[in-house]
Amino acid sequence: MTDEDRRGAILEATWQLIAERGFHAVRISDIAKVCGTSTGTVHYYFPGKDDVLTQALKYCVEQAFVRQSRELRGIDDAHERLLKLIDMQLPRMGRVRDEWSIWLQYWAEAVVRPEFRPAHNEFYARWHETVVRIVRRGQRQGVFRTDVSPEELAVHLTALTDGAAIQVLTGRPGMTVSVMRELLIGYVQRELLVERRTSPEPA
Judged by the rule CB under 8 A, the positions of this chain that interact with a second copy are 19-25, 100-101, 104-105, 107-114, 117, 120-121, 124-125, 145-147, 152, 155-156, 158-164, 166-167, 169-173, 175, 179, 183, 186-187, 190-191, 199-203
User: In this structure, are residues 99 and 161 in contact, taking their beta carbons and an 8 Å threshold?
Assistant: no
Q: Output 29 or 142, the one with its CB closest to a second copy.
A: 142
Min dist CB 68 to a second copy, Å, is 19
Q: Output 1 or 112, the one with its CB closest to a second copy.
A: 112
CA distances 81 to 75, 77, 117, 130, 185, Å, are 6, 6, 29, 11, 12
Min dist CB 90 to a second copy, Å, is 14
How many C-beta neighbours within 10 Å does residue 140 have?
A: 11
Q: Output 65 or 187, the one with its CB closest to a second copy.
A: 187
Min dist CB 13 to a second copy, Å, is 16
Q: What is the largest CA-CA distance in the chain?
A: 68
Q: Output 19 or 82, the one with its CB closest to a second copy.
A: 19
Q: Output 64 or 109, the one with its CB closest to a second copy.
A: 109
Min dist CB 105 to a second copy, Å, is 5
Min dist CB 183 to a second copy, Å, is 6
Q: Output 38 or 142, the one with its CB closest to a second copy.
A: 142
Min dist CB 73 to a second copy, Å, is 27
Residue type, 15: W
